[in-house]
Amino acid sequence: MRNRRPPAASHAGFAPVSSPDPGETPRPTLLELFGGFTRIAAFAFGGVLPWARFVLVERRKWLTADEFTDMLALCQLLPGPNIVNMSVAIGGRFRGPAGAVVSVLGLMMLPTAIVLCLGAFYARFADVPAVGNALTAMGAAAAGLVIAMAAKIGEPVLRRRFLSAAPFVLATFVAVAILRLPLWPVILALAPLAIAAAWRLR
């Protein structure tokens, strides 16, 4: 089993951390953070989070699966896009405020340029049937990626904490996907109950 990475050096606004011990995975440099998030943005067709999990957990090994899940849960409670929140949190964890800025730039620069180009293309060719069919197919692929990521995140949580997690997973799915209730009220209602249930079963 690989050694856990220590957090980054202490910075204002971020958790204090210790220096790496010999033999442990080194924390990424600013350049590595920029390159890692640029890679996530470049290849995340149809949805960023599934590919982000693959890069951060399985390829780069900057986070464990549990760390990714916990960080995603926190970032979902904050305003703004989840992946942008995660880039700030991960960059700040390893390299402080500079790391947060560099991670966001790596995540946003390439997609912004691509979207501007695609927007101009779509404005000109939106009425072409082939373009509409391609967008429909990409939407289906995006849905599949999100479902696959949800399964990867949910499986270890349910395996270790089934009694405390399963009822809330089911309740959230029913409330949001079937009853079409707004996400915020569902979170505000279920989060305190889920925390209390997990605490009681510890």
In this predicted model, what pLDDT tens digit does every residue of 16-50 receive, in sequence order?
444 444 445 568 999 999 999 999 988 876 568 88
**In 3D, which of 45, 31, 8, 48 has the Cα closest to residue 103?**
31
Residue 142: CB atoms within 10 Å: 15
CA dihedral angle for residue 110, residue 114, residue 117, residue 121, rounded to 10 degrees? 180
Residues 6+ apart with CB under 8 A from 201: 161, 163, 164
Given a contact cutoff of 8 angstroms between Cβ atoms, the answer to whether 110 and 41 are in contact is yes
**Given 3-state DSSP classes, what are the helix, strand and coil percentages for the chain, each rounded to the nearest 5?**
75, 0, 25
Asked if 24 contacts 4 with a C-beta cutoff of 8 angstroms, the reply is yes
Is 10 a residue whose pLDDT tops 50? no
pLDDT band at 62 (very low <50, low <70, confident <90, very high): very high
pLDDT tens-digit profile of 140-162?
Answer: 777 777 787 778 777 777 777 78
Q: Is the model's pLDDT at 9 over the cut of 70?
A: no
* Whole-angstrom distance, CA of residue 149 vs CA of residue 48: 10
